[in-house]
Amino acid sequence: MVSNAVIMQDAQAFNFDGDYGEIYEDLAHKVIPGYDTLFPATLALMMERIGMYAHVLVVGCGTGREISVFAPHAPGWRITAVDPAIEMVRFTEEVAARLGVQVQTDVRHGYVHELSASAQFDGATVINVMHFLRDDGAKDQLMQSVAARIRPGGTVALFDLHGDRKAPYFSLFYEAWKRYMTLRGYEDMAKESLLERLAAGIAYVSEARIMEICAHAGLQLVRKYWSGLLYGGWLLERARAA
Ligand SMILES: C[S@@+](CC[C@H](N)C(=O)[O-])C[C@H]1O[C@@H](n2cnc3c(N)ncnc32)[C@H](O)[C@@H]1O
């Protein structure tokens, strides 16, 4: 098993088995532009693409946001969720139990590459996960592991914090993001702590590099569907066999 410490930019900065899960919900709503509407929008697109009866992979389920939005609205979906942090797995299992959607959901402790290589999902979401992985092959490995388990013509929704740190826009957008946090009421110690974690734990890459990682994995861009400060969301299709 590849450990978090090996593949994450800095596993200590974002310790999902530590206190992060507890604070994530409040943080996500205040810090991620459009967090409340991102998941229904992703669901709507996925439903258009893969229909009401499908097998969907949720990569990095964290505090169960995908399950809580997707499962009640898509009762014909079977959802397999994976996360390498046991605390996050428990969190998601509790969300599924509270909503009464356990019958639809299978929450696994581990990584995508540990799922059976013969698994063929209709779709997958990779939301707020890839930005934690180093661009030393780890981002590629993640997207290749996902793509290999999506049927040809299937759909992947990728949402990630990103940007070219050398580009003139980056500091403008980063400073604006810090200001956005304050405007949203995310301040003081919580904000300072988050900024330290972001500085250590996020492996930013440009949008062009993200598209390259996806293309190498056999994922073709359908359309960018989300953009908010340094966050972006891309709808991708697993290449059909020639
Ligand atoms: C910020 S949370 C995102 C949770 C959820 N997708 C959301 O957007 O609300 C990131 C999650 O990704 C998980 N994670 C970290 N590395 C991963 C990897 N290589 N594969 C899958 N999940 C990973 C973490 O344990 C954590 O639960």
* Ligand 1 centroid to residue 242 C-alpha, Å: 33
**What does each C-alpha distance from 200 to 13, 144, 222, 239 come to in angstroms?**
6, 25, 32, 35
Give the pLDDT confidence score for residue 7 in this predicted structure: 66
5 pLDDT above the threshold of 50: no
* Ligand 1 centroid to residue 18 C-alpha, Å: 13
Q: Is the CB of 39 under 6 A from ligand 1?
A: no
60 pLDDT above the threshold of 90: yes
CA-proximal residue: ligand 1, atom 22 (nearest): 60
* Ligand 1 centroid to residue 78 C-alpha, Å: 20
Residue given tokens 């793509």 in the structure block: 147
Q: Is the CB of 20 under 6 A from ligand 1?
A: no
DSSP output for 122-168: EEEEEES-GGGB-TTTHHHHHHHHHHTTEEEEEEEEEEEE---TTSH
CA-proximal residue: ligand 1, atom 14 (nearest): 60
Q: Is the CB of 87 under 6 A from ligand 1?
A: no
Confidence at 8, pLDDT banded by 50, 70, 90: confident
Residue 54: phi, psi to the nearest 5? -155, 165
The total of other beta-carbon atoms located within 10 Å of residue 3's CB is 10
User: What tens digit of pLDDT does each residue of 101-153 get?
Assistant: 999 999 999 999 999 999 999 999 999 999 999 999 999 999 999 999 999 99
CA-proximal residue: ligand 1, atom 25 (nearest): 85
pLDDT above 90 covers a percentage of the chain that reads: 88
Distance CA 160, CA 38 (A): 12
**What does each C-alpha distance from 120 to 13, 107, 157, 159 come to in angstroms?**
33, 17, 16, 21
Q: What is the pTM of this model?
A: 0.95
For residue 134, how far is the Cα from the chain centroid? 15
CA-proximal residue: ligand 1, atom 13 (nearest): 60
Distance CA 87, CA 110 (A): 12
CA-proximal residue: ligand 1, atom 11 (nearest): 60
Question: Which residues, including other chains, have CB under 8 Å from residue 38's CB and lie 6 or more apart?
Answer: 32, 127, 159, 226, 233
- Range from 1-10, 178-187, 193-202 carrying the lowest mean pLDDT: 1-10
Mean pLDDT of 39-56: 98
CATH number of the 4-238 domain: 3.40.50.150
Q: Is the CB of 127 under 6 A from ligand 1?
A: yes
Mean pLDDT of 194-212: 96
* Ligand 1 centroid to residue 62 C-alpha, Å: 5
Mean pLDDT of 92-102: 97
Residue 213's Cβ-side half-sphere holds a number of Cα atoms within 13 Å equal to 25
The rounded mean pLDDT for the chain is 94
54 pLDDT above the threshold of 70: yes
Mean pLDDT of 203-209: 98
6 pLDDT above the threshold of 60: no
* Ligand 1 centroid to residue 150 C-alpha, Å: 19
**What does each C-alpha distance from 191 to 49, 184, 194 come to in angstroms?**
38, 11, 5
Confidence at 208, pLDDT banded by 50, 70, 90: very high
The SS3 of residue 51 is coil
Q: Is the CB of 158 under 6 A from ligand 1?
A: no
Pocket test for ligand 1, best of 1, 132, 161, 202 (most atoms within 8 A of CB): 132
Give the pLDDT confidence score for residue 242 in this predicted structure: 65
DSSP output for 175-187: HHHHHHHHHTT--
Mean pLDDT of 185-198: 94
Mean pLDDT of 165-194: 96
Mean pLDDT of 76-81: 98
3 pLDDT above the threshold of 90: no
The SS3 of residue 20 is helix
Question: Which residues, including other chains, have CB under 8 Å from residue 31's CB and lie 6 or more apart?
Answer: 180, 181, 184, 186, 194
Whether 148 contacts 38, CB under 8 Å? no
Mean pLDDT of 193-203: 95
